[in-house]
Amino acid sequence: MRKHRWDELPEEARAAVEDRHGTVFKAESAERGVTARLHTEGGSFFLKGVPANDPATRLFLRERAANLTLSPAVPAPRMLWTADAGGWALHMFDFIDGARHADLSPGSAELPGVLDTLSRLGGPGGTLPSVLVNLEMLQETAAALLGKNLSGPQWGMHAEALKALSPESLLLAEFPNRS
């Protein structure tokens, strides 16, 4: 998916955002699709969007559904608004100054904190549903991607990871004291 700028969105999509949050006087592009920090009369917000006909739309709509079910106790930016406008699926979130993605690369010093947070959120008394809910979809998607037999050394690693992806392994990861 290519990166789009705020001013490349259809007028209907921009109008839907501005009707809800105020006139945008500055838009800073962030990542692919449309991700932008919008500075409006009503404050600063983080906009995400994808064209409705983009292959990523299915995942984007899953993200929408997940965000709409999050408990207020989850330490995450709040989804403030969502719309389908001008052929785009749009999400508006709280803007958190200085926010960035965690470094998830192998050996990153941030991984233990990320894993700890996820285990607390998804464990007993946590605020997230079990990942087992999405296991079948994850396995189907992974199998389809691996079935393409793309070249590169990473595919063997991914095939091994798929073999290890099972309800039993996820339950042990979620509740390590079970055996």
pLDDT tens-place values along the chain, 179 residues long: 567 788 888 899 889 889 988 899 888 776 655 678 899 888 999 999 888 888 888 888 888 888 887 777 777 889 999 999 999 999 999 998 887 778 888 888 998 888 888 777 766 666 665 566 566 767 777 777 777 766 666 666 667 766 666 666 655 554 445 44
Burial of 47 (0-12, 13-18, 19+ CB in 10 A): buried
Domain(s) of CATH 3.30.200.20: residues in the chain:
6-94
The CATH number that domain 6-94 falls under is 3.30.200.20
**Which phi-psi region, left, alpha or beta, contains residue 128 (left: φ > 0; alpha: ψ -120 to 50)?**
beta
Residue 81 in contact with residue 68, Cβ under 8 Å?
no
- For the full predicted model, state whether its pTM sits above 0.95: no
Residue 21 Cα to chain centre, angstroms: 22
**Helix, strand and coil in the chain, % to nearest 5:** 40, 20, 35
What is the rounded CA–CA span in Å between residue 86 and residue 89?
9
* Nearest alpha carbon to residue 99 among 45, 60, 59, 63: 45
- State the alpha helices, DSSP H only, in 54-175: 57-69, 111-122, 135-146, 154-164, 167-174
